[in-house]
């Protein structure tokens, strides 16, 4: 199963499997089913808050998302992957090993401190991870509206347009560094990081994130 997500880089466990990398998925449960346990309510509610924030701006986005899940992961992914987006199954999932909100906050904040991810503003780490993974889903949704079948080709088109329209300098990789270190990994992660930055930080988000959001909003 391929996955797209974010990695924590120097700060602890990762926040995803990276672009197209296989993730050891043992089981997935829809978040509403997972919420039946009262101990899981804060985790699920934080995920749903992140999902709803993007859905509010892109009302038809959920037509491109089949499910939002809590996932049990095996092997190294149990501790090294916080969330992922499965493009083929159109699934957004967060690792149930990080159901504890404060545990997720600590891991995410370590990544922010290292510069690997943008800050989370007044959002929880769980919301930030959900927003990142929904950023991948949004990219896939926009790709469909573009009429582009290849996810990576669509990602490149979006980033190139944002770079050009913001008068970027030094090439897109250097430019993406204004969002985070992980945004420099590839175009898909650049977009997902920009989405998380924008929804977590609003007007305090980087100029690069704002430029990418401007491109995405053309496909509302």
User: For residue 138, what is the enclosing H or E element?
Assistant: helix 125-146
pLDDT at 80: 82
pTM attached to this predicted model: 0.93
pLDDT less than 70: residues of the chain:
1-20
Of 80, 90, 107, the residue nearest 1 (C-alpha):
90
- The tally of domains found in the chain comes to 1
Identify the H or E element spanning 201.
helix 187-201
Range of the domain at 161: 2-219
What pLDDT is stored for residue 156 in this prediction?
A: 97
Alpha-carbon gap, residue 132 to 111, rounded angstroms: 14
* Angle value at C-alpha 99, between 36 and 80, nearest 5 degrees: 140
Give residue 17's pLDDT. Answer: 44
């Amino acid at each position: 199963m391929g996955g797209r997500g974010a990695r924590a880089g120097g700060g602890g466990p990762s926040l995803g499997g990276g672009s197209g990398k296989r993730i050891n998925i043992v089981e997935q449960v829809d978040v509403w089913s997972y919420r039946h346990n009262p101990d899981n309510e804060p985790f699920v509610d934080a995920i749903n808050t992140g999902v709803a924030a993007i859905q509010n701006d892109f009302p038809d986005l959920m037509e491109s998302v089949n499910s939002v899940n809590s996932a049990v992961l095996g092997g190294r992914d149990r501790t090294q992957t916080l969330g992922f987006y499965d493009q083929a199954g159109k699934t957004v999932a967060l690792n149930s090993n990080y159901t504890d909100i404060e545990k997720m906050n600590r891991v995410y904040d370590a990544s922010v401190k290292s510069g690997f991810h943008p800050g989370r503003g007044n959002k929880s780490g769980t919301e930030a991870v959900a927003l990142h993974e929904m950023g991948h889903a949004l990219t896939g949704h926009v790709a469909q509206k573009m009429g582009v079948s290849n996810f990576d080709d669509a990602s490149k088109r979006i980033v190139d347009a944002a770079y050009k329209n913001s008068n970027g300098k030094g090439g897109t990789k250097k430019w993406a560094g204004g969002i985070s270190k992980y945004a420099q990994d590839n175009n898909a992660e650049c977009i997902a990081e920009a989405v998380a930055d924008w929804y977590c930080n609003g007007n305090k988000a980087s100029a690069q994130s704002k430029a990418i959001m401007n491109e995405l909003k053309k496909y509302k």
